[in-house]
Amino acid sequence: MVSWKDLRFVNTFAQLPAVFYSRLAPAPYAENYLVAINPAAAQLLNLDIDARSLSADQLAGLDLPSTCEPLAMLYAGHQFGSYVPQLGDGRALVLGDVYGADGALWELQLKGAGPTPYSRRGDGRAVLRSSIREFLGCEAMHGLGVPTTRALSITGSDEPVYREQVETAATVLRFAPTHVRFGSFEVHYYRNQHANIKILADYIIARHYPEIAVHPQPYLEFLSHVIARTARLIAQWQAVGFTHGVMNSDNMSILGLTMDYGPFGFMDAYNPGYNCNHSDSGGRYSFDQQPSIGLWNLACLAQTLIPLISVEDAKAALARYEEVFDAHYFALMTAKLGLVQADDEARALVTTLLEIMAKNNVDYTLFLRRLGGFSSVSQDRNAELRDMFLDREAFDAWAGRYAARLMRTNCDAAARKRRMLGVNPKYVLRNYMAQSAIEKAQQKDFSEVEALLRVLQQPFAEHPAYAHYADYPPAWAEQIELSCSS
């Protein structure tokens, strides 16, 4: 374990040519308090978080370790379908990379630490509300086994920040192997600076895809890897009922990680058209659009690699996306139903179940968790599941087919239940849960953030003291509106 001031930053991104970033120091507030710290993340980073060796001011960016070379990354991106020529880290700074306890290099980023040359009209700050959502959101995804950026801490300050209302400021210290995005490539393509695309691709391949460095067509192989990772990531989003909310190409990780948590949402009732972003009136980024938007964004990335690969090869690589997505999605959903083979019958059971859940507004997480207790021999024991549907006959018809399948293939109900409890979470971060933690935190009570962190990091465990979070959301949850404002 090392103390904060002894962290040795390696600064690999800072060794790239200056065109890729702007160097600058953070502009933290003078007084900061600790809102939350994530012990699991600290352990991974090999960081001593004992209060005697680490202060809130340090986590907010005051008193950076001497080896740190902070910078804001340059990127561009397609936002809601239109190309925006320059975005970049408008309120986040890369502090550099540090070696974790696992021997891997982790890139640390401080979000909300003041304006950068890429802030455009923004103030460079983040509010407490959105910082708590990012912190809990990414750790919840990690707990569910979904690739994501991680978060170490949130610090708060009483300084006002102006959004739709006056709020208070916060910073999140987040980390990932890299925060490079599709948009990091796009900016150089549209500026006709094609040599930079090769430099950036070589940097990412050397650090994150070393196995393809010796491949005869490394850039095509790189694209294929990003396509496969993105397809698998979005399959996981669909399987856990997660909607990102702002799938602009600048929010798409080159490593296939969930990143830039904004107005994201976990579904309550299953609704394919679920749109958690109030600013997205056209529903471009609604739940059922995510798989095709993933491909759309990958096409934007592929375009930037045209100086390095042929159009035909890029098209052929993109053409494999759907197959990877589909296979991974049905494998996950089949397992959630406790079935072993993802064959045509299993796919039909998944598809029909989702159809009747949508028609009956059935709670996605709750139903699948309870489905572990399904009995293929006693209808009576399925009464609770059945009662979740208004159209009982639709449930009965599906349950009959499901029971027949279970009886034909794997009869050991206890083993099936165990498997299902390991893939169907008891807890997801529903919007109302984040909202409750936020409202308490705004009153300086951070206990709910800490409690939710603990529960969501192990979402398949029972946590009997928090069973109220494994129930239906309260009625007021429907009134929560999330926008891009953060």
Residue 410 near residue 418, CB atoms below 8 Å: no
Q: Which of 122, 273, 400, 474 binds ligand AMP (CB under 6 A)?
A: 122
Residue 369 touches which of Mg ion, ligand AMP, none (Cβ within 5-8 Å per kind): none
- Residues in contact with ligand AMP, counted by CB under 6 A, come to a total of 16
- By Cβ distance, which residue is nearest to Mg ion? 260
Residue 87 touches which of Mg ion, ligand AMP, none (Cβ within 5-8 Å per kind): ligand AMP
Number of other residues whose CB lies within 10 A of the CB of residue 342: 20
Interaction between residue 148 and ligand AMP (CB under 6 A):
no
Residue 453 near residue 437, CB atoms below 8 Å: no
d(CA 332, CA 339): 10
Interaction between residue 119 and ligand AMP (CB under 6 A):
yes
Nearer to Mg ion, 139 or 260 (CB): 260
CA 357 to chain centre: 25
- Residues in contact with Mg ion, counted by CB under 5 A, come to a total of 2
User: Is residue 260 annotated as part of the catalytic site, yes or no?
Assistant: no
Task: Specify which residues 174 forms β-bridges with.
Answer: 109, 151
Active-site entry in 57, 89, 250, 260 = 250
Residue 154 near residue 131, CB atoms below 8 Å: yes
Residue with tokens 């109030």: 278
Q: Which of 157, 249, 251, 424 binds Mg ion (CB under 5 A)?
A: 251
Residue 122 beta carbon to ligand AMP: minimum distance, rounded to whole angstroms: 2
**SS3 (DSSP) at 167:** strand
Q: Which of 65, 90, 100, 145 binds ligand AMP (CB under 6 A)?
A: 90
Residue 241 touches which of ligand AMP, Mg ion, none (Cβ within 5-8 Å per kind): none
Q: Which of 262, 291, 294, 459 binds ligand AMP (CB under 6 A)?
A: 262
d(CA 278, CA 263): 8
Helices 413-421 and 364-371 cross at an angle (nearest 10°) of 150
Interaction between residue 57 and Mg ion (CB under 5 A):
no
Helix (H) or strand (E) holding 73: strand 71-73
Name the residue among 324, 267, 327 with its Cα closest to residue 294: 324
Question: Which residues lie below 8 Å from residue 445, measured CB to CB, with a gap of 6+?
Answer: none
Nearer to ligand AMP, 248 or 457 (CB): 248
Q: Which of 20, 110, 125, 302 binds ligand AMP (CB under 6 A)?
A: 125
Residue 325 beta carbon to ligand AMP: minimum distance, rounded to whole angstroms: 23
- Angstrom CA distances, 51 to 32, 45, 63, 224, 355, stand at 14, 16, 15, 45, 51
Interaction between residue 139 and Mg ion (CB under 5 A):
no
**SS3 (DSSP) at 435:** helix
Interaction between residue 123 and ligand AMP (CB under 6 A):
yes
Binding site for ligand AMP (CB under 6 A): 87-91, 118-119, 122-125, 246, 251, 260, 262, 484
Catalytic residue numbers? Answer: 250
Using CB under 5 A as the criterion, which residues of the chain lie in contact with Mg ion when the complex forms?
251, 260
